[in-house]
Amino acid sequence: MGIEEKVSEEFKKAGIIPLKIESPFADEVYIDVKAEDFKKTCIFMHKRFNSPVMAYFACDETATANDGAFIIYCTFESIELKNWLFIRYEIPAGKGEYVSIAKEIYSASLFEREMSEMFGLFPDKSPDKRSLRLHEEVWPKGQFPLRKDFLREIKTSVSASRYVFNRIAGEGIFEIPVGPVHAGIIGPGHFRFSVAGEPVVNLEIRLGFTHRGVEKLFENRSPAECLKLAENICGDSAFSYSLAFCCAVEKVYAVTVSENAEFQRGIFLELERLYNHIADIGGIAVDVGFSFPAAYAAVIKEKILEVNNEIAGSRYLKGINVIGGIKSGIGITQRKYLIDSMEEIEKDFRELKSMLLSSVSFMDRVDGTGILDKNTAEDLGVTGTAGRASGISMDLRADFPGIYLDNDFKIVTQSDGDVLARLNLRINEVEASIGIIKKFLNILGNENSIHSGNTNARAGYGLGYVENWRGPVLFWLDINKGGLIERCKIVDPSFRSWQGLALAVPGNIVPDFPVCNKSFNLSYPGNDL
């Protein structure tokens, strides 16, 4: 039975009759439904496949569709079917309201707030209608940035409505506002603590201060032009972002990437995971005042960055991916150097691990601190590193066929959901990444096919996805007949996971916030797209 028939059978059981089901790729299914069936269908998909809303976005088809419409896409991941399921329906151009699903599926909430600001499509009966990224700055009335009729040169404007924070009232409750400007090189974010003495009663996080209109920048440009843009969206994830983008383009172009290039991409992806996880482990030590292992972690990270530069010419793995493969391969001499380097890094990392886990005072600070339980994480749609530390067994490397699944990759999880669980998860993933790099290097052999010569442009749409060191990075692209990107939707794992941090902190004392924050280590630029 094909995937379309399987999905159709599932819908029959739920009493839902789709307008159309199509599967343009082996791992993507698009289900068109009537407006009145949209909410019911999404709730069914959420419960049946135990998936949060992975992406939820609109496309402006008013200029091209026969009757003019906005198309809404709500995306779920089915590990069981090894597929991405897109629920899709039309909103007439003259109608700016649609049925909210955020009350029943909370992981949809931020996406609905985003569509309100960017498209002027407002969810009816939404539990949270506050702004997401536009804040209180002056903004043009009736102008929505991701609509095709958006005016880039703004001459008239009105003030946005004031953002209302949740207020916790009671005797002895005080508010501590922190940010958005911080004493460091981190991005801007506002953290508002409600405290009773030192214990935190509530934490509300407001982001979007560096919203750059990234998705708009992709429009009306060719994929070749946008590759450099993709890898510069989030500096600590340059390789995984460019890889997810390339995967989307390659899918639409029907490009077959050589197995050799796939394995080399896997090696670079694990190198990116390694240096970031080790930096985070050092950061956790810094935030509890354990300076020696923090410095030792910085030394190991520097070794990995030197390895990156030696084999790729870039410490942060930029300029490697091209559409159809990679720019230049890892040669025989470089492979020997990489294997020797992994042995040295593995030895040093064992020392770092021993320093941390043998310290009673360190363990006292991280054990039981900043707990995010599994049920809360699932409700919020927390994925990736933070989700797996709370017991959510989701990892795109194992969820879909590919070089990882074909080589016995096993998902690493923890169950306690505290800072120690997130630390242990990173430790386990570092050890796993070193093993994966060694395994992939042994598989490479002497064959050196690194990119496909077939990159002929085609029209179409598709999803590129990568499990980076934080979690799933998604790029959905719609490429028109002229070879230009009509719509680009990007989802960073931090987008939903910031809410996980907000709910992990209450119950802890204010001085524990930095270590809770570092144990999540979420992205400001990845959120502020």
pLDDT greater than 70 at residue 55: yes
Confirm if 258 and 451 have CB atoms less than 8 A apart. Answer: yes
Confirm if 417 and 377 have CB atoms less than 8 A apart. Answer: yes
Kindly report the backbone phi and psi dihedral angles of residue 213, in degrees, each rounded to the nearest multiple of 5, phi listed first: 65, 40
Task: Summarize pLDDT for 382-428 with one digit per residue, the tens.
Answer: 999 999 999 999 999 999 999 999 999 999 999 999 999 999 999 99
- Domain 3-151: CATH architecture, name and number where available: 2-Layer Sandwich (3.30)
Q: Band the pLDDT of 162: cuts 50, 70, 90.
A: confident
pLDDT value at residue 65: 62
Residue that wins the pLDDT comparison between 276 and 328: 276
pLDDT greater than 70 at residue 139: no
Greatest CA separation found in the chain? 71
Q: Band the pLDDT of 64: cuts 50, 70, 90.
A: confident
Rounded Cα distance, 443 and 260, in Å:
9
Rounded Cα distance, 291 and 372, in Å:
26
Element (H, E) at 342: helix 332-357
Rounded Cα distance, 293 and 423, in Å:
13
pLDDT value at residue 187: 86
Confirm if 276 and 236 have CB atoms less than 8 A apart. Answer: yes
Whole-model pTM: value is 0.95
Nearest CA to 377 out of 385, 366, 369 is that of: 385
pLDDT greater than 90 at residue 496: yes
Task: Summarize pLDDT for 436-484 with one digit per residue, the tens.
Answer: 999 999 998 666 667 766 677 899 999 999 999 999 999 999 999 999 9
What are the structure tokens assigned to 475, written together? 């790029």
CA 52, 19, 461, 151 dihedral sign is negative
Q: Band the pLDDT of 159: cuts 50, 70, 90.
A: low
Any idea where the domains of the chain sit in the sequence? Answer: 3-151, 214-527
pLDDT value at residue 160: 58
What are the structure tokens assigned to 141, written together? 């009335």
Average the pLDDT over 20-49 and give the result.
Answer: 95
Q: How far is CA 196 from CA 171, 174, 175, in A?
A: 9, 7, 9
Whose tokens are 């924050």? That residue is 517
The mean pLDDT of the chain is: 92
CA 87 to chain centroid:
20
CATH code of 214-527, in short, is 1.10.645.10
Residue 198 CB-density burial (10 A; 0-12 exposed, 13-18 middle, 19+ buried): exposed
Rounded Cα distance, 305 and 155, in Å:
47
Rounded Cα distance, 308 and 306, in Å:
5
Confirm if 283 and 202 have CB atoms less than 8 A apart. Answer: no
What are the structure tokens assigned to 174, written together? 């005080």
Please state, as a whole number, how many other Cβ atoms lie within 10 Å of the Cβ of residue 65. Answer: 15
Three-state SS for 55? strand
Rounded Cα distance, 244 and 355, in Å:
36
Task: Summarize pLDDT for 337-377 with one digit per residue, the tens.
Answer: 999 999 999 999 999 999 999 999 999 999 999 999 999 99
Task: Summarize pLDDT for 178-206 with one digit per residue, the tens.
Answer: 989 887 778 899 999 999 999 999 999 99
